[in-house]
Chain A
Amino acid sequence: MTTTAPQTPAVFPAWFAARQHDAWERYLATPAPKRGDETWRFSNLKQLNFEGFTRGAGVSPTADLVARSTGLEKTAAKFVFINEELVHSETNLPQGVICLPLAVALVSHSDLVAAHFMKQETRLGSAKFAAWHEASVSNGLFVHTGDHIEVEGTIEVHHWISGANTVIFPHTLVVTGKSSKVRVIDIFRSEDDISPGLAIAFNDLSAGQYSQLDYVAVQALNEVTRIIQINETSTARDASAKGFILNTGASWARNECLSRLEGPGSRSDMLSVSVPAREQEYDQRTFQHHVSEGAYSDLLYKNSLYDNSKTIFSGLIFVDKNAHHTDAYQTCRNLLMSDTCEANSMPGLEINADQVKCSHGSTSSQIHDEEIFYLQARGIDPVSARQLIARGFSVEVVERLNDVATEEFVLSFIDDKFAHIDTGGA
Chain B
Amino acid sequence: MSLHIQDLQATLEDGTEILKGVTLEIPKGEVHAIMGPNGSGKSTLSKVIAGHEGYVVTGGSVTIDGEDIEEMSIDERSRAGIFLAFQYPAEVPGVSNANFIRAALQARLPKGEEIDAVAYYKNLYAKMDLLEMDRKFTARAVNEGFSGGEKKRNEILQMMMLEPQYCILDETDSGLDIDALKIVAKGVNAMRSPDRGMLLITHYQRLLDYIKPDHVHVMAEGRIVRSGGPELAHELEKHGYDFLKEAAMA
For B161, the closest partner residue in chain A by CB is A378
Contact flags B119-144 to A (C-beta < 8 A → 1, else 0): 00000000000000000000001000
B104 touches A378 (CB 8 A): yes
Least CB separation from B105: chain A residue: A379
Given A371-B90, A374-B90, A384-B103, A379 contacting B95 (CB threshold 8 A) = no
Q: Determine if A376 is an interface residue (Cβ-Cβ < 8 Å).
A: yes
Give min CB distance, B100 to chain A, whole Å.
8
8 Å CB interface, A373-395 against B: 373-382, 384-385, 388-389, 391-395
A369 near B107: Cβ-Cβ < 8 Å: no
Is B92 in contact with A379, judged by CB distance below 8 angstroms?
no
Known: A374-B86, A377-B78, A378-B162. A393 touches B94 (CB 8 A): yes
Which residue from B79, B86, B93 sits with its C-beta under 8 Å from A379?
A: B79
> Judging by beta carbons under 8 Å apart, are B108 and A373 in contact?
no
Q: Is A370 an interface residue (CB 8 A)?
A: yes
Q: Does B189 count as interface, using CB distance less than 8 angstroms?
A: no
Whether A396 sits at the interface, judged by CB under 8 Å, is yes
Chain A residue at minimal CB-CB distance from B54: A369
Find chain B residues with CB under 8 A from A382 CB: 73, 75
Structural contact, A396 and B75, CB atoms closer than 8 A: no
Which chain B positions have C-beta within 8 A of A370? Answer: 90
Q: Is the interface of B mostly helix, strand, loop or mixed?
A: mixed
Contact A391 B74 (CB under 8 A): no
Choose among B74, B95, B162 the residue with the greatest number of A CB atoms under 10 Å from its CB.
B74
Nearest-neighbour CB distance to chain B for A76, whole angstroms, equals 27
B8 near A: Cβ within 8 Å? no
Instruction: Map CB proximity to A onto B66-80 as digits: 1 under 8 Å, 0 otherwise.
Output: 000000011100110
B93 contacts A378, C-beta separation under 8 Å: no
A371 and B95 CA atoms in complex are apart in Å by 12
CB-defined contacts of B93 to chain A, threshold 8 Å: 392-393, 396
Q: Report the interface size class on chain B.
A: 20 to 34
Residues of B near A388 (CB, < 8 A) are: 92, 95, 100, 103
Q: How far is the CB of A304 from chain B (nearest CB, A)?
A: 11
Cβ contacts under 8 Å, B75 to chain A? 376-382, 385
Q: How far is the CB of B92 from chain A (nearest CB, A)?
A: 6
Q: Which residues of chain A have C-beta atoms less than 8 A from B90's C-beta?
A: 368, 370-371, 373-375
* Inter-chain contact A384/B92, CB cutoff 8 Å: no
A379-B108, A384-B103 given; A373·B95 CB < 8 A:
no
With contacts A373-B52, A379-B79 taken as known, whether A392 is within 8 angstroms of B94 at the C-beta atoms is yes
- Cα separation A395 to B139 with both chains bound (whole Å): 12
- B103's partner among A374, A380, A395 (CB-CB below 8 A) is A380
Query: Is A379 within 8 A of B94, CB to CB?
Result: no
Known: A388-B95, A388-B103, A394-B94. A377 touches B84 (CB 8 A): yes
In the bound complex, CA of A384 to CA of B109 (Å): 14
| B228 CB-CB contact with A under 8 Å | no
In the complex, what residues of B have CB within 8 A of residue A385's CB? 75
Cα–Cα, bound, A378→B162 (Å): 8
**With a CB–CB cut-off of 8 A, which chain A residues contact B89?**
374
Write the nearest CB–CB distance from A374 to chain B, whole angstroms.
4
Separation of A396 and B51 alpha carbons in the complex (Å): 31
Contacts of A377 in B (CB 8 A): 50-51, 74-75, 78, 83-84, 86
B74–A389 CB distance below 8 A: no
Interface status of B2 (Cβ within 8 A of chain A): no
Nearest CB of chain A from residue B169's CB, rounded to whole Å? 13
Which residues on the B side are within 8 Å of A368 (C-beta)?
Answer: 90
Chain B residues in 8 Å Cβ range of A381: 73, 75, 107
**Chain B residue nearest to A370 in the complex (CB):** B90
The distance from the CB of B22 to the nearest CB of chain A, in whole angstroms, is 20
Q: A residues within 8 A CB of B158?
A: 378
Q: B53 near A: Cβ within 8 Å?
A: yes
Digitize A39-55: 1 where CB-to-B-CB distance is under 8 Å, 0 elsewhere.
Answer: 00000000000000000
CA distance A188 to B181 in the complex (A): 54
A379 touching B141 in the complex, CB below 8 Å, given contacts A389-B92, A391-B94, A392-B92: no
Partner of B95, one of A369, A376, A391: A391
B108 neighbours in A (Cβ, 8 Å) = 379
Q: Give the nearest-CB partner of A387 in chain B.
A: B103
| B162 partner residues in chain A, CB cutoff 8 A | 378-379
User: Which residue of chain A has the shortest Cβ distance to B164 in the bound complex?
Assistant: A379
A388 to B78, CA, bound (A): 17
Is A395 a contact of B107 with CB atoms below 8 Å? no
Instruction: Name B78's contact: one of A371, A379, A396 (CB within 8 Å).
Output: A379
| A376 and B78 contacting across the interface, CB-CB below 8 Å | yes
The answer for the CA separation of A385 and B95 in the assembled complex, in Å, is 11
CA distance A29 to B176 in the complex (A): 70
Q: Which residues of B contact A392 (CB under 8 A)?
A: 92-95, 141
In the complex, what's the smallest C-beta–C-beta distance from B12 to chain A, in angstroms?
14
Contacting pair B52 A395 (CB below 8 A): no
- Cα(A368)–Cα(B84), bound, Å: 18
A373 touching B92 in the complex, CB below 8 Å, given contacts A378-B162, A379-B75: no
CA distance A378 to B90 in the complex (A): 12
Q: What residues of B have a CB within 8 angstroms of the CB of A384 in the complex?
A: 103, 107
Q: Which residue of B lies closest to A302 (CB)?
A: B94
Minimum distance in angstroms from B54 CB to a CB of chain A: 7
For A376, give its contact among B73, B91, B94, B100 (CB under 8 Å).
B73
Bound CA span A382–B76, Å: 11
CB distance from B124 to the nearest CB of A (A): 14
Cβ distance A363 to chain B, nearest Cβ, rounded Å:
13
Name 17 extra pairs, CB < 8 A, besides A373-B90, A388-B100. A373-B50, A373-B74, A374-B90, A376-B51, A378-B75, A378-B78, A378-B100, A378-B103, A378-B104, A379-B75, A379-B107, A379-B162, A382-B73, A382-B75, A384-B103, A385-B75, A394-B94
A-B contact list, 15 entries, CB within 8 Å: A373-B52, A373-B74, A375-B100, A377-B50, A377-B78, A378-B78, A378-B107, A379-B75, A382-B73, A385-B75, A393-B93, A394-B94, A395-B94, A396-B93, A396-B94
